[in-house]
Amino acid sequence: MAMKKRKQKGQAIMEYVIIIVIVALAALVVIGAFSDRIRGMFAGVTNTLGGEADVSTKSTEIMKEMDDTGIDLDQ
């Protein structure tokens, strides 16, 4: 009896892990698809609050300018 209950508990944990992985992948797809739009929205908020944000370059161009550590090579 105890073995059967333990097996069901392990199954439930795996189901939660699968759900978390699916949600994470969906979030990555959405962020990838709308990355430039999201950057534009954050830049608008930054400019409204008195900051300075440049959105003239696309996200893909910014990623190409970075090295493996994520540091901008132009600085």
Domain of residue 75: give its range.
Answer: 16-75
**Is 3 within the bounds of a domain?**
no
Q: Which pLDDT value is given to residue 36?
A: 80
In this model, does residue 3 exceed pLDDT 60? Answer: no
CA 52 to chain centre: 23
**Is 10 within the bounds of a domain?**
no
Backbone angles phi, psi at 59, to 5 degrees: -60, -40
**Is 4 within the bounds of a domain?**
no
Q: Which pLDDT value is given to residue 7?
A: 62
Angle at 11 between CA 9 and CA 17, to 5 degrees: 110
pTM > 0.85: no
**Is 41 within the bounds of a domain?**
yes
Count how many domains the chain has: 1
Handedness of CA 14, 15, 18, 20 (dihedral sign): negative
**Is 1 within the bounds of a domain?**
no
**Is 7 within the bounds of a domain?**
no
Residue bearing the bigger pLDDT, 11 or 61: 11
